[in-house]
Chains A and B, each alone.
Chain A
Amino acid sequence: MYLQKQIVNNNLILRLQGDFDLMITDKFREAIEEVLVKNRIDNIIINLENVSFIDSSGLGVILGRYKQLSQRGGKLFLVNPKPQVAKILEFSGISKIIRIVTNEEEAFRVS
């Protein structure tokens, strides 16, 4: 699992590559915590276009960050999930509360 972080105008962009399952959740959580402690972050944009698999562990981490951000008035965006990932997002109902966009630019426009 490869995780790239970028901060643009108080927005944290996370680009993931690989599978979003139990193995990545701790690393993912730590990576975000580390950034949130050192920087002012308003919104988080999670780019899923290179994620081939997600299960409830991955969903749980996304939901956890969403709750954390919402409390501060921030927004979370999911970018361009593959069909099998989009299916899981929809099935769990997460797509009803978290905005899914087709590219990072769209997230910036909306936020």
Chain B
Amino acid sequence: MQVTERKLLNEMKIEFLSIPENVALARVVVASFAAQLDFTLTDLDEIKVAVSEAVSNAIIHGYENDSSKSVVVSARIEENRLNIVVEDIGKGIADLEQALQPAFSTHPDRMGFGFVFMQSFMNDFSVKTELGAGTKVFMSKILSDVFMDNDNEENVQLDM
């Protein structure tokens, strides 16, 4: 197992009641936290969706809409990575493989796209779950280094 030591630049943790109002709270807090890195607006939009999906899952499935329970969202900035953990100590997922399939949902009114969005919008994604004990969703977004320093670029003359 490869363990990469990355420098921790910042860390945060919030805990809130398992109610729909707090889905927006969580995504806005994480996006604000993420903005400390040079993520693009698109990256931040994607982070917001991924966090919303994970928190919604915790509320709807983990706690079955029990508003007395709490969801914990934590995030760390390690060099050019944002690591997010969304955690509940609720029901747990009976069949994780099945749950991860697109368009699968145990809820009659839901699409089953939550995990698909999380996996597509984040660079790394994994789930730890235990029946009766809870679920932890781990997601990471890596800062794209596509836009490099311009020092080494040559200026190209366009003959118009």
Which residues of A are interface residues toward B (Cβ below 8 A)? Answer: 19, 21-23, 25-26, 53, 55-57, 59-61, 63-64, 84, 87-88, 91-92
Residues of B within 8 A of A92 (CB): 111, 113
CA distance A21 to B48 in the complex (A): 11
Q: Which of B112-132 touch A at CB < 8 Å?
A: 113-114, 117, 120
Name the interface size band of chain B: 20 to 34
Report whether over half of chain B's contact residues are helix, strand or loop; otherwise say mixed: helix
Q: Which of B49-81 touch A at CB < 8 Å?
A: 49, 52-53, 56, 59-60
Q: Determine if A91 and B56 form an interchain contact, defined as CB atoms under 8 angstroms apart.
A: no
Which of the candidate stretches B1-9, B17-25, B92-100 sits at the interface with the other chain? B17-25
Residues of B within 8 A of A55 (CB): 23, 49, 52-53, 56, 117
> Which residue of chain A has its CB nearest to the CB of B105?
A60
- A to B CB contacts below 8 Å, 13 in the list: A23-B23, A26-B20, A53-B24, A53-B48, A55-B53, A55-B117, A56-B53, A56-B111, A57-B110, A60-B109, A60-B111, A61-B109, A84-B42
